[in-house]
Structure 1
Amino acid sequence: MKLIVCKDYDDMSKKASELVISNMVEKPQLKFGFATGSSPIGLYKNLIAAQKEGEISFKYAKSVNLDEYVGIGADNEQSYSYFMHKNLFDQVNIKKENINLPYAPENDEKYALEYRKVLDEFGQRDIQILGLGENGHIAFNEPAEKLNRRASIIKLTESTIEANARFFENEDEVPRYALSMGVEEVFNSRTLIVLASGKNKHEAVKRLLNDDTISTELPCSLLNLHPNVYLFVDEEAYKG
């Protein structure tokens, strides 16, 4: 694991985007795995700016996404589909047919099986962007005795619901289930770029870097098994 400690969120976003941009220049037909949440927004802004300046193009890029809430339509402002279009897709020249987003209008595993087929056809990604949950989750693979290998409908923990409540009118509106890639699928990328900023991520970062064990009770600890991980953290997440 390559650790890059950055001054603050903006510096973290800048350094992570430099890595992505260098890969896109080398390989314009890059295959991405994208994440949502506050962590990658700065990175996406930098990629949008880089395209406007002519450094990169998304014309030949393809993408899949980590997860999506169950029961929320793509036009809902809290959906991850809406997030991706607002924060990246609508501002770059990626082709609509090259965007693959999970969708589960109801709590039914058939939607997970459908997304598994999409991921199988898509194949290995070049870069997978990841955030880091306060409880150490990756995608929506929450701390548990066992973790899903493939895409599944997952019941969210109370801590994750509480953490995501800031995006909704109140906690009662936060969905209780999500469709998420499984760990095997998250790892099916040549490079993982993990972003963590803020004091609330310090405990997860500390355990990721210092724990001698790997456990499903700390899903991010599994990142130590991947051969090419870049962990970008700001000073607050690193030092607490």
Structure 2
Amino acid sequence: MEHHRIASDRAPNVTIMPTTEDASQTVADMFLATVRTNPACRLGLATGQTPRRIYAKLVDAVRAGRISFADVETINLDEYCGLPAAHPDSFAAYMHRELFSSAGFDAAKINLIDGAATDEAAEAVRYANLVRSRPVDLQLLGIGTNGHIGFNEPGSSASSRVRVVELSKETLAANQPTLIELHEVPARAITMGIADILDARKIVILATGEAKAEAVRRSLMEHPDDNCPASHLALHADVHWVLDQAAAGLL
């Protein structure tokens, strides 16, 4: 494992691994260590292409008898507006497909946004209260090519909280290939804000692939800026960036 310190006044914790698989294993190991230390911890979870390998490794660990998630509480970052949990393109369905249904989580301890809520503002308030009810012990993040974390698009401030957001053209285009049944990515979502993310005790952000390299460079090498939401992670005392060689290419 290589540890590379980036030359800046913030000295972030950055681990660069040779491959995507190695990087995913590094993050999975952090989750396993957190749960072993505190079996009833609260884990903050993300969706998308990047976490898939992490979740597969956590499922493998459960099947091998190396871990139990029975007492773990989870809370997710975001959800598309207008999609019920049972819809294959909802993030709720993704979480059950990729992790929950195979890893022995207690359904009563899984916290998800209701994308089908008729009153979206009220659902954002409900979820905001849930987020604030208990700190996240380890928050997983990916990063968009435009620097978004969760669905906090460029322009999001470090003080932002759970809210309804409009998704950027870049995000809509990036998420289009992941669709299963829908023909178009929903234009709106409910997301935890950057301030909610920064409330976590520890944050790990995984970035893999050359397409993420510029967003990673901006986040790590430039000062915090609303135009690159992930750059606000510099305000947190315990953030671990895990990159593969391709994502680290511009550092």
Superposition map of 1:132-171 within 5 A? 132-144=143-155, 146=157, 149-168=160-179
Q: 1:175 maps to which residue?
A: 186
Would you say how many aligned residue pairs link Structure 1 and Structure 2?
Answer: 238
Contact 2:205/2:240 (8 A) holds in 1: yes
Q: 1:45 to 1:97 in 2, by over 3 A?
A: same
Contact 1:31/1:127 (8 A) holds in 2: yes
Q: 1:119 maps to which residue?
A: 131
| In 2: Cα distance, 1:171 partner to 1:26 partner | 40
The gaps in structure 1 that reach 5 residues or longer are: none
Contact 1:58/1:92 (8 A) holds in 2: yes
Q: Shift of residue 149 of structure 1? A: 1.9
| In 2: Cα distance, 1:169 partner to 1:62 partner | 28
Percentage of matched positions with identical amino acids: 31
Q: Shift of residue 170 of structure 1? A: 9.5
Q: Shift of residue 108 of structure 1? A: 2.8
Superposition map of 1:1-240 within 5 A? 1-105=12-116, 106=118, 108-121=120-133, 123-144=134-155, 146=157, 149-168=160-179, 173-211=184-222, 213-239=223-249
Q: Shift of residue 199 of structure 1? A: 0.8
2:204 corresponds to which letter in structure 1? Answer: I
SS of the equivalent of 1:206 reads: helix
| In 1: Cα distance, 2:172 partner to 2:110 partner | 27
SS of the equivalent of 1:173 reads: coil
1:220 corresponds to which letter in structure 2? Answer: A
Q: Shift of residue 107 of structure 1? A: 6.9
| In 2: Cα distance, 1:146 partner to 1:226 partner | 14
Q: Shift of residue 16 of structure 1? A: 1.0
Relative to the length of structure 1, the TM-score reads 0.94
Contact 1:70/1:175 (8 A) holds in 2: yes
The one-character-per-residue Cα deviations of 1:54-82 (angstroms, maximum 9, x if unpaired) are 22100110011000000011111110000
Contact 1:77/1:83 (8 A) holds in 2: yes
| In 2: Cα distance, 1:170 partner to 1:34 partner | 23
Q: 1:38 to 1:145 in 2, by over 3 A?
A: closer
The gaps in structure 2 that reach 5 residues or longer are: 1-11
**Worse-superposed segment, 171-180 or 79-88:** 171-180
| In 2: Cα distance, 1:149 partner to 1:209 partner | 20
SS of the equivalent of 1:90 reads: helix
| In 2: Cα distance, 1:89 partner to 1:214 partner | 34
RMSD between superposed Cα atoms in Å:
1.7
Contact 1:141/1:147 (8 A) holds in 2: no
